């Protein structure tokens, strides 16, 4: 009461008016006002009040997801005020203001000025309603252009979408088509494109694959420089270190012995951490190592948080580049030999039978540094996965066997990228590059079905935009530019698959889900190839096209003889078109993790199940709570979305399996990633693999991993023909005591002596705690 008497009436009235203007169902403006009153300071001005109202609404999302929309609208209103105060009303005003501050490319600003009326006419702020709070918050904090000194926002969300669309287009019509998709959150380019489209340095690519340094000092230092430059402009780096000699190898110049790869990777670690991507996020890199490299065991310890800090790299990600021969020896429980690349330099550039032959010959010639049981190394790999989530399993032979760039003298795939979805050839003077974008499948569901016609259209628009990005792209290193212009690879992916399954009531492990997921992948590939062939007809095939398998008539699905395309006639027509015109792009499809853009779009990440029905997102802009909207809708239908249910879900870490009286159908539908059989995730990935010509960032989940289960799982993934896998996600061994769940509701579990004894004596086989 004292609060309202001292509060400047105009400020609170304004806020009340704003809250009531967005009168959304299931939200209570007066409740927000009460929270604001309680949290405000005596001298609160309008900006502080709006800020508190946004926080208050955001804090209620876990209780009522409708507050996410309200918080988003308050935030959008604040951005509108902030731009209006600077005289920015139209799109062209925003571009002019940002250009005047030196943030934009002159040609881009000129194009916008020349077509100001047509472009301004495209903007529709009503599309702001598509945002949930978390997405708009991320966009506002990190993506919208800001004044270099005042840090005031220079564009509204719809201005932002149109800027990116225009930055990727040659004509107003192209910009309009792309803007329509993006403003409805139906297609989103990846973060570097969102950051840099229309900007001074239009570095639009997400991924760079840098070939292993040659086994010499100058080459190693040259790689640090390249990686730092690539990292500075928001790219993630994949780099191999397999050509560099192992520990104990003779250094002829000094007659000393090498310390192996670890000290070099320490330097890389420090270098990556030092590069800040335009102040927006830290650099990130993944180092790949061939499984035969003699330093592989030390490599697997790089992320341990115990042991000698001088041999640890906390910023790098790690991945194993595994040949089939290794997996066969694991299966056969045979020995495995480790080599110094200085002694056997040919192994790095070989794959398939040629690799197998050379590897066995080197063994027979006694050139191995050391031999150990293959299963002992495999167990070490599994342990690293369990302990750090890192040490991703990627399969060299599957990657090369199916890559369109490999085959007719094109080259060799030596490793993948930071997120294991890109597979492109590299060499000492070619850094592979990929520009990514993802289609939000959730935005393509109409009347309980996937709208394949619209999906195909979105794919064509996306391929056009991704292809134009190649010509606009500014490359931080010459090695990157060279490769990109020759191969013109694209990485078109999808996100929101879990939302589609939920909307269509398909459990992740059902046969119908598998069929639909595969059909989606097939339609995306068909439309993408068709669009690329059309571009080839109009603008010419990419320069290295003659080196590709496609030039020899082999398309990616052909590597999967068991694949059963649902539209053989469309594939036949496509083959004819490709034979006539070639392809504008050597590769087209890659399923990236989409962490940030999925949160902007408010959909589930790529092809992944939900990790929990209730989870928080930690980002640079703070922490936010998300609730599965599908679950809330179902519970509301049952009249069960109430405080006790919410507490029960929270106590169960976002699981609904122990909720009383929940129909089995709903329990099956709302299983989390931890509760689904991982075999189903691998089967889904394997079934879509024929239509993904690069790869997929496939996370796997094991709440309490054991070596036995992990080794079975990854061997299965390899046998299923997956090219790559990504993180192994596990859960904390202990957890924070919940502060906001009534503690008297937490039943004190009576000590069950038999279970305790069992897990003590035989921790690995006891199922009680798994």
How many residues can be counted in the chain?
Answer: 770
768 touches other proteins (CB under 8 A): no
Tell me which residues in 592-611 interact with other proteins (CB under 8 A): 595-596, 611
Query: In terms of CB distance, is 538 or 733 closer to other proteins?
Result: 733
**By the rule CB under 8 A, 764 interacts with other proteins:** yes
Interface segment toward other proteins; rule CB under 8 A; list 5-13, 45-53, 240-248, 463-471: 45-53
What distances in angstroms separate CA 373 from CA 288, 333, 385, one per listed residue?
Answer: 22, 7, 19
Q: Is 101 a catalytic residue?
A: no
Name 548's Cβ contacts closer than 8 Å, sequence gap at least 6.
404, 405, 407, 408, 410, 583, 586
Q: Among 132, 155, 325, 421, which one carries the catalytic annotation?
A: 421
Number of Cβ atoms within 10 Å of the Cβ of 337: 20
The alpha carbon of 263 is separated from its chain's Cα centroid by a whole number of angstroms, namely: 29
Give yes or no for a contact between 439 and 492, defined as CB atoms under 8 angstroms apart.
yes
Kindly state whether residue 660 participates in binding other proteins, applying the rule CB under 8 A: no
User: With binding defined as CB under 8 A, does residue 636 bind other proteins?
Assistant: no
- In degrees and rounded to multiples of 5, residue 422 shows phi and psi of -110, 130
Site track 280-319 with other proteins (rule: CB under 8 A), x = hit: -xx-x--------------------xx--x----x--x--
The reply to whether 648 sits near other proteins by the rule CB under 8 A is: no
Measured from the CB atom, the residue of 314 and 580 that comes closer to other proteins is 314
Out of 259, 408, 454, 621, the residue judged to bind other proteins by CB under 8 A: 621
Stretch that binds other proteins, among 487-495, 529-537, 661-669, 713-721 (CB under 8 A): 713-721
Site residues for other proteins, 731-750, by CB under 8 A, read 731-744, 748
432-440/490-495 β-pairing: parallel
Q: Inter-axis angle of helices 157-167 and 66-85, to 10 degrees?
A: 80
Residue 2 near other proteins by CB under 8 A: no
615 part of the interface to other proteins, by CB under 8 A: yes
Cβ–Cβ contacts within 10 Å for residue 395, how many? 25
Only one of the segments 380-388, 435-443, 447-455, 562-570 lies at the binding site for other proteins (rule: CB under 8 A); that segment is 380-388
207 catalytic? Reply is: no
Closest CA to 169 of 141, 202, 138, 146: 202
Residue in 417, 473, 585, 613 annotated catalytic:
417
Backbone angles phi, psi at 14, to 5 degrees: -60, -45
Please count the other Cβ atoms lying within 10 Å of the Cβ belonging to residue 22.
18
For 460, phi then psi, to 5°, come to: -65, -40
By C-beta, is 281 or 575 nearer to other proteins? 281
Active site residue 64: no
In the bound state with other proteins, the residue whose beta carbon lies nearer, of 255 and 744, is 744
CB of 60 to other proteins, least distance (A): 7
Q: By three-state DSSP, how is residue 290 classified?
A: strand
Stretch that binds other proteins, among 10-18, 86-94, 508-516, 622-630 (CB under 8 A): 622-630
To the nearest whole angstrom, how small is the minimum distance from the Cβ of residue 454 to other proteins?
29
Torsion (CA) 695, 700, 706, 711 in degrees, nearest 10: -20
Binding mask 132-161 for other proteins (x = CB under 8 A): ---------x--------------------
User: Who contacts 764 (Cβ-Cβ below 8 Å, separation ≥6)?
Assistant: 706, 708
Q: Which of residues 93-112 bind other proteins (CB under 8 A)?
A: none
Contact region with other proteins (CB under 8 A), list: 470-478, 493-501, 508-516, 709-717: 709-717
Residues in Cβ contact with 35 at an 8 Å cutoff, skipping those fewer than 6 apart: 52, 53, 56, 59
Number of residues that bind other proteins (CB under 8 A): 95
Which tokens in the block code for residue 112? 């916008």
Query: Under the criterion CB under 8 A, does residue 408 sit at the interface with other proteins?
Result: no
The residues in 531-590 that bind other proteins, with binding defined as CB under 8 A, are none
Q: Which of 222, 238, 234, 308 is nearest to 266 (CA)?
A: 308
Interface stretch with other proteins, choices 50-58, 218-226, 424-432, 491-499 (CB under 8 A): 50-58
* Three-class HEC string of 84-108: HHCCCCCHHHHHHHHHHCCCECHHH
- Candidates 413, 425, 710, 722; binder of other proteins (CB under 8 A) is 710
For other proteins, give the closer residue by CB, 447 or 618. Answer: 618
Under rule CB under 8 A, residue 713 binds other proteins:
yes
| CA 148 vs CA 140, 160, 502: distances in Å | 15, 17, 43
| Residues annotated as catalytic (active site), given as ranges | 417, 419, 421
């Amino acid at each position: 009461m004292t609060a309202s008497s001292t509060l400047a009436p105009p400020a609170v009235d304004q806020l009340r008016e704003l809250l009531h203007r967005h009168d959304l169902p299931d939200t209570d403006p007066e409740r927000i006002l009460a929270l604001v009153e309680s949290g405000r300071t005596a001298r609160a001005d309008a900006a502080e009040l709006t800020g508190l109202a946004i926080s208050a609404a955001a804090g209620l999302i876990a209780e009522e997801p409708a507050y996410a929309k309200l918080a988003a609208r308050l935030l959008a209103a604040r951005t509108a005020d902030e731009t209006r105060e600077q005289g920015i009303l139209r799109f062209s005003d925003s571009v002019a203001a940002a250009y005047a501050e030196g943030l934009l490319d002159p040609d881009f600003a000129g194009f916008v000025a020349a077509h100001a009326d047509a472009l301004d006419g495209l903007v529709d702020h009503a599309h702001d309603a598509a945002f949930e709070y978390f997405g708009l918050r991320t966009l506002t904090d990190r993506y919208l252009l800001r004044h270099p000194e005042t840090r005031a926002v220079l564009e509204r969300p719809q201005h932002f979408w149109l800027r990116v669309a225009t930055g990727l287009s040659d004509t107003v019509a192209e910009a309009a088509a792309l803007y329509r998709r993006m403003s409805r959150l139906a297609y989103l380019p990846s973060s570097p494109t969102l950051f840099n489209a229309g900007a001074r340095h239009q570095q639009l690519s997400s991924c760079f694959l840098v070939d292993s340094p040659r086994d010499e000092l100058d080459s190693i230092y040259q790689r640090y420089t390249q990686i730092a430059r690539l990292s500075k402009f928001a790219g993630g780096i994949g780099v191999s270190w397999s050509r560099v000699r192992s520990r104990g190898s003779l250094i002829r110049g000094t007659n000393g012995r090498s310390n192996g790869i670890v000290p070099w990777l320490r330097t890389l670690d420090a270098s990556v951490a030092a590069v800040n991507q335009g102040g927006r996020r830290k650099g990130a890199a993944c180092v790949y190592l061939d499984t035969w490299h003699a330093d592989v065991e030390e490599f697997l310890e790089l992320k341990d948080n115990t042991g000698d800090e001088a041999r640890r790299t906390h910023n790098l990600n790690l991945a194993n580049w595994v040949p089939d021969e290794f997996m066969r020896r694991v299966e056969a429980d045979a020995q495995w030999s480790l080599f110094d690349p200085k002694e056997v330099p040919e192994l790095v550039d070989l794959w398939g039978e040629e690799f197998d032959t050379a590897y066995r010959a080197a063994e027979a010639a006694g050139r191995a540094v050391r031999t150990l049981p293959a299963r002992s190394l495999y167990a070490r790999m599994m342990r690293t996965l369990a302990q750090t989530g890192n040490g991703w399993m990627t399969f060299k032979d599957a990657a090369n066997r199916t890559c369109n760039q490999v085959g007719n003298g094109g080259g060799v795939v030596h490793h993948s990228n930071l997120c294991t979805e890109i597979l492109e050839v590299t060499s000492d003077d070619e850094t592979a590059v990929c520009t990514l974008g993802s289609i939000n499948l959730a935005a393509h569901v109409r009347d309980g079905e996937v709208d394949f016609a619209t999906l195909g259209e979105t794919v064509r628009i996306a391929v056009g935009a991704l292809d134009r990005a190649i010509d606009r792209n500014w490359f931080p290193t010459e090695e990157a530019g060279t490769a990109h212009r020759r191969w013109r690879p694209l990485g078109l992916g999808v996100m929101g698959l879990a939302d589609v399954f939920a909307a269509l009531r398909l459990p992740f492990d059902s046969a119908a889900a598998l069929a639909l997921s595969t059909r989606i992948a097939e339609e995306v590939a068909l439309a993408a190839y068709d669009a690329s062939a059309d571009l080839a007809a109009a603008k010419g095939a990419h320069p290295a096209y003659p080196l590709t398998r496609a030039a020899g008539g082999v398309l990616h699905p052909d590597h999967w003889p068991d694949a059963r395309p649902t539209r053989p006639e469309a594939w036949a027509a496509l083959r004819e078109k490709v034979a006539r015109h070639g392809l504008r792009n050597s590769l087209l499809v890659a399923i990236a993790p989409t962490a940030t853009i999925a949160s902007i779009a408010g959909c589930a990440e790529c092809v992944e199940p939900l990790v929990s029905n209730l989870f928080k997102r930690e980002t640079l802009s703070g922490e936010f709570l998300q609730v599965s909207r599908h679950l809330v809708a179902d519970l509301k239908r049952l009249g069960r979305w109430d405080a006790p249910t919410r507490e029960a879900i929270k106590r169960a870490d976002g699981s609904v399996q122990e909720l009383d009286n929940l129909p089995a159908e709903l329990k099956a539908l709302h299983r989390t990633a931890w509760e689904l059989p991982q075999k189903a995730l691998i089967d889904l990935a394997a079934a879509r693999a024929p239509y993904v010509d690069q790869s997929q960032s496939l996370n796997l989940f094991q709440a309490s991993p054991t070596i036995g289960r992990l080794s079975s799982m990854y061997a299965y993934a390899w046998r299923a023909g997956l090219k790559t896998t990504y993180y192994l996600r596990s859960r904390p061994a202990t957890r924070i005591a919940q502060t906001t769940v009534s503690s008297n509701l937490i039943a004190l579990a009576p000590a069950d002596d038999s279970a305790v004894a069992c897990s003590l004596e035989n921790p690995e086989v006891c199922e009680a705690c798994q």
